Amino acid sequence: MRPLFHPAIEDVQPEAILHALSDPRRAAIFARITKAGCVEACSAVSSVGDQVIPKSSLSSHFKVLREAGLIRCERHGVEMRNHSRCAEVEARFPGLLSAIMNAYAARLS
């Protein structure tokens, strides 16, 4: 299996990050990966809140996060390990990710 594409940090674009995180489910997935540092599998986040996400949709959400430069994915055996690239992104766009994640956390709903 060919290695997955990951953009270099200098190629990461703000619009891609905003688009990726403008979906609350993707934002929740990213928050979980970031909090855990590394979530072992896509299937480890097979639901967000009480909402079950079909695995084809989940796969494309991970792809969007990966191509936006937010996570790094590598296969370990039969499963995928997803790492947050928040430190890199923070260096390139200071304050962006924390402000976004705080905004979601601050939401009442």
Partner DNA sequence: TCCATAGTTCCGAAATCCCGAACTATGGGA
Partner DNA sequence: TCCCATAGTTCGGGATTTCGGAACTATGGA
Site size for a second copy (CB under 8 A)? 27
Q: Which of 4, 9, 36, 96 binds a second copy (CB under 8 A)?
A: 96
φ, ψ dihedrals at 80, nearest 5°: -105, 140
CA dist list (Å): 50 to 56, 60, 73? 18, 20, 25
Shortest approach of a second copy to residue 24 CB, angstroms? Answer: 5
Nearer to DNA, 41 or 87 (CB): 41
Residue ranges in 18-47 that form contacts with a second copy under rule CB under 8 A? 18-19, 21-24, 27
Which structure tokens are listed for 23? 């979906």
Q: Hey, is 34 helix, strand or coil?
A: helix
By CB under 7 A, residue 74 contacts DNA: no
Which residues are CB-contacts of 95 (< 8 A; sequence separation ≥ 6)?
none
Q: Hey, is 53 helix, strand or coil?
A: coil
Q: Hey, is 2 helix, strand or coil?
A: coil
Q: Which of 1, 8, 78, 106 binds a second copy (CB under 8 A)?
A: 106
By CB under 8 A, residue 92 contacts a second copy: yes
Chain positions contacting DNA, by CB under 7 A: 1, 4, 19, 23, 40-44, 53-63, 73, 75, 77-80
